[in-house]
């Protein structure tokens, strides 16, 4: 039995889908910040479809959603515009906000003193 034959038998990991916790976080973000826009990110080999919410200030968050239709439903229900990040890219204010945090020595999610684990 060679190295390649052992790899064939190894089980692939399972992608974690959207949860009610993910949805609750997105809802809280929309309700607590002005000017929120949604940007859909496609499924990859390691991550299910995600939505990035970007506030008018540039603050942002990312969570899994139940596919492209789930992202559209969320955006409609919460009256936020939805853009395809593959078509329009991310807004400059998002990059500016992230750069400002990095310049201030902040890493990881907001509210944490170090990188997320």
Q: pLDDT tens-digit profile of 34-82?
A: 999 999 999 988 888 999 999 999 999 999 999 999 999 999 999 999 9
| CATH number, domain 16-103 | 3.40.1690
For strand 37-41 and strand 82-84, is the pairing parallel, antiparallel, or unpaired?
A: parallel
The domain ranges of the chain are 16-103
For residue 113, pLDDT over 60 is answered with no
Record the pTM: 0.78
For residue 110, pLDDT over 80 is answered with no
What would the DSSP string read from start to end of 26-94?
Answer: HHHHHHHSSS-EEEEE---SSS--EEEEE-TTS-EEEEE-SHHHHHHHHHHHTT--EEEHHHH---HHH
For residue 9, pLDDT over 60 is answered with no
């Amino acid at each position: 039995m060679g190295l390649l034959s052992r790899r064939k038998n190894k089980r692939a990991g399972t992608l974690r889908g959207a949860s009610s916790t993910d949805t609750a976080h997105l809802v809280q973000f929309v309700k607590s910040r002005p000017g929120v826009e949604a940007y859909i990110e496609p499924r990859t080999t390691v991550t299910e479809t995600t939505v990035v919410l970007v506030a008018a200030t540039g603050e942002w968050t990312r969570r899994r959603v139940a596919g492209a239709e789930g992202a559209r439903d969320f955006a409609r229900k919460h009256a936020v515009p939805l853009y395809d990040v593959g078509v329009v890219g991310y807004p400059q204010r998002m990059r500016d906000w992230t750069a400002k945090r990095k310049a201030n020595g902040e890493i990881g999610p907001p509210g944490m003193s170090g990188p997320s684990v």
